Structure 1
Amino acid sequence: MPLEIYLDLISQPCRSVYIFAKKNNIPFEFKKILLFKGEQYSEEFGKVNYFRKVPAIKDGDFTLSESIAILTYLAEKYGTPDHWYPADLQTRARVHEYLSWQHSGMRGIAGKILWLKLMIPKAFEIDVPKERMDSLLVDLEGSLTAFEEKFLQDKPFIAGQKISLADLVAIVEIMQPLGAGVNVFEVRPKLSAWKDRVRAEIGPALFDEAHQMIFNAEEMSKTIDPSAKEIFKPKIKKMFL
């Protein structure tokens, strides 16, 4: 049975898994789960991921959730080039250091920009208090500064001279605000140069393909089914407001 990967590329973790699998020529069947149609709540998908979130994989009878677990599983199983998930103990520790920090330090902040600035007010017609948005943008600046000063420093990539899973997980999160018109690279030349290196290593065509839904996020926000909006509104208010 072929490896099945369940994805919606509007999701940052889904993009990291998609890019990694495609870049490393890992054969898989793309199982699209449309989050804004509520397909993650189907009984069938619940058998793949108890938590009903993407990404998730099904490898024969083995199922796995959580993007970091999936990325490391794929790296180990398919013997991808060492730079992605280095064998050297200290270099791998640098990768894990970023992957551990990013859950709250980057993902918990950058990922909310698209929601609070675009999806919640425009797609779900819920007012977002200005002070909430302003506070989040201040937090984002703090996270980006920490990324540059602590994790990137003067290196080409987070773990040193070569791209790793840390850079891949970082770039998909840091790209997310662009969907809401917040260009985090515009006034940060170091961050912008790093992004260009990551894009070049991934390959511009694959990088742009994976992020196409982010570039079209505003148009996509207009296509959400009205009945789905009513289902999601209470969840969104609880998560973001």
Structure 2
Amino acid sequence: MVLKLYYDLLSQPSRSLYILLKLSKIPFEQCLVSLAKGEQLTKEFAETKSIFQKIPFIHDGDFRLNESVAIVRYLSRQYTLDDKWYPKESKKQAKADEFLEWNHSNVRLNCSTYFIVKWRNPLISGKQPSEDRIKSLTKYMEKSLTDFENIFLTNGPYILGDNLSYVDIHAACEIEQTRVAGYDARNYSPKIKNWIEHVRSECNPVYDEAHKFINKLASMHGEENKSKL
């Protein structure tokens, strides 16, 4: 049976796994889950798809697995995943894992929180956050972006050095998300801008395919801002 990926391209880790599977040419069935419709929140979904009721996740025959990082590690063992995406050599793999573990409570936490408070919550509730709240979230997010730049983009054009890997795709998808809420990290840091453009270039056309909806939402936000001028 072919591997099934359950995903929504509005989700950052969904995009990173989608890009990886496409580029690595691992055959997979695309199983779309609409976050906007709350398809993952039903009792039937929890019973038949994923008890976590979150995406992305995979079904590989009778085997089910959640969490994007766990999925990548599984793919590296179970399938012919090129070593460049997730290194097999112990020390290189440890450095990849170092970033993936650090990312949870830094870039992902702060970029996601900014996106949720600035864009998603107002979309649902119709209520805008206070200016002070946004300033505070921006401060924490930019601290994470500065740490990311100073810690992980110092040994070459990519996180692990000279070569693109899955951790770059994973990080770029997280950082791209804030564009929907009107914040583009490319404008915050020239180094981050250069790195994202390298990742995009090496992963295209799949990268742009995965970010088509994000790009559309970001463009809509830009048009809304222009209309207020």
State the partner residue of 2:33. Answer: 33
Amino acid across the alignment from 2:159: I
Per the TM alignment, residue 113 of structure 1 is displaced from its structure 2 partner at its CA by 2.2
**3-state DSSP class of the match of 1:196?**
helix
State the partner residue of 1:212. Answer: 212
Q: Say whether 1:181 aligns with 2:182.
A: yes
**3-state DSSP class of the match of 1:36?**
coil
Whether the 8 Å CA contact 1:48–1:57 is kept in 2: the answer is no
Whether the 8 Å CA contact 2:118–2:128 is kept in 1: the answer is no
| Partner Cα separation in structure 2 for residue 210 and residue 163 of structure 1 | 17
State the partner residue of 1:226. Answer: none
Per the TM alignment, residue 37 of structure 1 is displaced from its structure 2 partner at its CA by 0.7
Q: What CA deviation, in whole Å up to 9, does each residue of 1:187-214 have, x standing for no partner?
A: 41111111111112212x2111111121
Whether the 8 Å CA contact 2:179–2:218 is kept in 1: the answer is no
Q: What CA deviation, in whole Å up to 9, does each residue of 1:212-231 have, x standing for no partner?
A: 1212236999xxxxxxxxxx
Which ranges in structure 1 are unaligned for 5 or more consecutive residues?
222-241
State the partner residue of 2:147. Answer: 146
Amino acid across the alignment from 2:118: K
Per the TM alignment, residue 152 of structure 1 is displaced from its structure 2 partner at its CA by 1.2
State the partner residue of 1:160. Answer: 161
Amino acid across the alignment from 1:212: K
State the partner residue of 2:45. Answer: 45
Do the aligned partners of residues 119 and 218 (structure 1) sit closer, same or farther apart at CA in structure 2, a change above 3 Å counting? farther
Per the TM alignment, residue 78 of structure 1 is displaced from its structure 2 partner at its CA by 1.8
Amino acid across the alignment from 2:38: G
Do the aligned partners of residues 208 and 171 (structure 1) sit closer, same or farther apart at CA in structure 2, a change above 3 Å counting? same
Whether the 8 Å CA contact 1:8–1:55 is kept in 2: the answer is yes
Q: How does 1:65-214 map to 2 (within 5 A)?
A: 65-203=66-204, 205-214=205-214
**3-state DSSP class of the match of 1:193?**
helix
Q: What CA deviation, in whole Å up to 9, does each residue of 1:39-94 have, x standing for no partner?
A: 00234431321110000110100000001011121222222211111122211111
Which ranges in structure 2 are unaligned for 5 or more consecutive residues?
222-229
Q: Say whether 1:4 aligns with 2:13.
A: no
Whether the 8 Å CA contact 1:118–1:218 is kept in 2: the answer is no
Alpha-carbon RMSD across the aligned residues, in angstroms, is 1.8
Whether the 8 Å CA contact 2:84–2:163 is kept in 1: the answer is yes
Whether the 8 Å CA contact 1:57–1:64 is kept in 2: the answer is yes
Of residues 17-26 and 114-123 in structure 1, the stretch that sits farther from structure 2 once superposed is 114-123
Amino acid across the alignment from 2:173: V
Amino acid across the alignment from 2:210: A
Do the aligned partners of residues 63 and 25 (structure 1) sit closer, same or farther apart at CA in structure 2, a change above 3 Å counting? same
**3-state DSSP class of the match of 1:156?**
coil
Amino acid across the alignment from 1:144: L
Identity %: 40
Aligned residues: 220
Amino acid across the alignment from 2:24: N
**TM-score normalised per structure 1:** 0.86
Per the TM alignment, residue 135 of structure 1 is displaced from its structure 2 partner at its CA by 0.6
